Amino acid sequence: MVSISKRRTPNRSRFGDLTNILVLIGFAAFMALPLVFAVNNAFKPLEELFQFPPRFLVRNPTLDNVRDLFALMNASWVPFTRYMFNTVFITLIGTVFHIIVASMAAYVLAKHQFPGKNLFFNIVIMALMFSPHVTAIPNYLIMSRLGWVDTYNALVVPAIAAPLGVFLMKQFMEQIPVSLLESARIDGANEFIVFFRVAMPLVKPAWLTLLIFSFQGLWNLDGGTFVYSEELKTLPTALQQIVATGFSRAGAASAIALFMMIVPLVVFIISQNNVIETMSTSGIKE
Amino acid sequence: MQIEQISTKEEKKQAQFLPILKRKLSLLGSEMKKNKLSYLFLAPFGIIFFTFYLLPVIISVFFSFTYYNVLESPQFIGWQNYLNLFLSDDLFLQSIKVTFLFAFITGPISYFASFFFAWFINELPRRIRAVLVVIFYAPSLSGQVFVVWSIIFSGDQYGYINGFLMEIGIISEPIQWFNNPEFIMPTLMIVILWTSIGAGFLAFVAGLQTLDQSLFEAGYVEGIKNRWQELWFITLPQMKPQLLFGAIMTITQSFAIHDVIVPLAGFPTTDYAAHTVVSHLVDYGTIRFEMGYASAIATILFIVMVGSNVIIQKLLGKVGT
């Protein structure tokens, strides 16, 4: 097949394409400038951070802030790698299980018929609307009843069943044509195989997106309320402790903000490339 | 005579009712047995969801009918919290006003912006597309970075916006963007919109990747004339699941605005000019430890969100017609 992108698409005018690009450039600048500013801040020496009037771009870039941050990290009570390990560990385990568990539930909610399914799904959506500020206390009561306070369980297990995941996956699973699933069943595949081999590949853009949401949430998870042993604290908690020590840490604080952002950003870029890549190969078709 | 007849009818109904119920239950039971596999798929999520999401909500709704200060066990006081909220808490009524203002302005703008950005981006070559998706989503990804807006909108003459406006002569004195009740709402809305291109946007981007391309080909043949017709008649109807997802995410976000406000405008804000329902709830829940009262606020907010959800779903039903 001749590459479609070379051919001029029907229903598109040059004028429309141009407006489209101009609008996007304008808003992209609005979105990006504050971030550019934040990145610059991380490399500003202390006197430039408190300079008036503030300059947008850094003049004498320095790695002092980063060095300062590492010095503070080394002075912490437990080795800093421990906080790092905790966050990486709960992020990986939580994200993998969340995607599998949420997708399995979403699959039957979208493609099976059984009593109670609509009620269940409506409850899942409504759970998104109740303020987490209020449920924090009942949540703590439940955790302590289970004996999970101050364990990894308290951080990982709730993340596995975040309602957002089921909602997102179900919306995409609905678009899968039943005929594709039926033909796999006729070929003798059991439901687990149909789910893993047929349904999941078809909704790859969806779970790549869910991967971002889950990764982002767990990476920034401050488990402070459920976990109090120093060995179990997460990276955001430890970093907050550093920032809380005072004004003189302003440089380190801006380095922290940047540092916390880099890892999810890299994961995001990789997964987005995959989302966009899948288009030509696996648009859902009968 | 008549009464007797009615009562025998009632009895008859009751006599019929039990076996019918039994039959229905056994039908349901066999139906459930037949769908064992479906429940098996649902179980891991269902169990964790019930324990850590549903149960806390149920307990909170129960707390809303009690006086509960976290230290002593809750005391049942009926509708008292709700009565107090509507009859003697002026600040609550003010917070409802602020919340609706935020929700009705930032909600729709952010929803439409998310969709149109995703749609425009989808028209571009692949490399550029990937870069733009990252730029638009980066603010949501960046956690606390929105705090840089406090420097941009700084209230003295050295703030970027003030400095710029004074230099070109629009204003002669610096504006206290985050402290002046006149400017606080619009300024916060700009920052909120900046952070709001989030879950919905990504779902739209992914949704546009899974469209059935053959329908577009059919559309060209059928005489779809321009990109707007294509959008309304072909793209949107296929995107309904994602549109619904985006709408509900927007509702939950725009009615729950609070966390963005605190680092920028303080807590509470000047004259409570940007005091939202969630701010009110946090005030009572985590500062005054009146969990019963805070739970009542959360329950009311919850009902408002569920209501708007119903309205939005009705509106979305009209898409593509």
Q: Out of A35, A114, A129, whose CB is closest to B145?
A: A35
The reply to whether B230 falls in a domain is: yes
Residue A171's pLDDT is 93
Taking CB atoms and an 8 Å cutoff, what residues of chain A touch B225?
11
The reply to whether B278 falls in a domain is: yes
Contact criterion met (CB < 8 Å) for B210 and A283: yes
Counting the structural domains of chain B, the total is 1
Lowest-confidence pick of A102-111, B12-21, B211-220, B278-287: B12-21
Mean pLDDT, residues B168-192 taken together: 88
Residue A280's pLDDT is 45
By percentage, how much of chain A surpasses pLDDT 70?
Answer: 88
* CA pair distance A124, A131, nearest whole angstrom: 14
Taking CB atoms and an 8 Å cutoff, what residues of chain B touch A101?
44-45, 48
Q: B173: burial class by Cβ within 10 Å (0-12, 13-18, 19+)?
A: exposed
Taking CB atoms and an 8 Å cutoff, what residues of chain A touch B117?
24, 27
Confidence of residue B154 (pLDDT cuts 50, 70, 90): confident
Min Cα separation B108/chain A (Å): 17
Of residues A198 and B218, which shows the higher confidence score? A198
Give residue-wise pLDDT tens across range A233-248: 888 888 777 777 655 5
Of residues A178 and B172, which shows the higher confidence score? A178
Is the distance from CB of B245 to CB of B256 less than 8 angstroms? no
Lowest-confidence pick of A52-66, B247-261, B303-317: A52-66
Of residues B154 and A120, which shows the higher confidence score? A120
Mean pLDDT, residues B246-268 taken together: 90
Contact criterion met (CB < 8 Å) for B42 and A109: yes
Contact criterion met (CB < 8 Å) for A285 and B214: yes
Min Cα separation A114/chain B (Å): 6
For A62, A87, A99, A140, A234, the CA distances from A222, given in Å and listed in that order, are 29, 9, 21, 15, 6
The reply to whether B25 falls in a domain is: no
The reply to whether B159 falls in a domain is: yes
Question: What 3-state class would DSSP assign to B76?
Answer: strand
ipTM above 0.90, yes or no: no
Residue A189's pLDDT is 86
B150: contact with A, CB 8 A cutoff: no
Mean pLDDT, residues A175-194 taken together: 90
The reply to whether B20 falls in a domain is: no
Residue of A nearest to B42 (CA): A105
* CA pair distance B232, B230, nearest whole angstrom: 6
For A203, A209, B141, B201, B223, the CA distances from A35, given in Å and listed in that order, are 32, 22, 11, 19, 44
Residue A248's pLDDT is 58
Min Cα separation B91/chain A (Å): 19
* pLDDT at position A252 over 80: no
Residue B1's pLDDT is 47
CA angle B25, B38, B57 (to 5 degrees): 80
Question: What 3-state class would DSSP assign to B141?
Answer: helix
* pLDDT at position A279 over 70: no
* CA pair distance A38, B226, nearest whole angstrom: 41
Mean pLDDT, residues B158-175 taken together: 81
Size of interface A-B (CB pairs under 8 A): 282
Residue of A nearest to B200 (CA): A168
**CA neighbor of A132 nearest in space, from B91, B46, B95, B295:** B295
Q: Can you give the residue range of the structural domain that contains B202?
A: 85-316
The reply to whether B141 falls in a domain is: yes
Confidence of residue A99 (pLDDT cuts 50, 70, 90): very high
The reply to whether B46 falls in a domain is: no
* pLDDT at position A6 over 60: no
CATH classification at residue B129:
1.10.3720.10
Min Cα separation A230/chain B (Å): 23
Local structure of residue B53 (DSSP, 8 states): I
**How many other CB atoms are found less than 10 A from the CB of residue A276?**
22
Residue B182's pLDDT is 87
Highest mean pLDDT among A64-73, A189-198, B154-163: A189-198
B124: contact with A, CB 8 A cutoff: yes
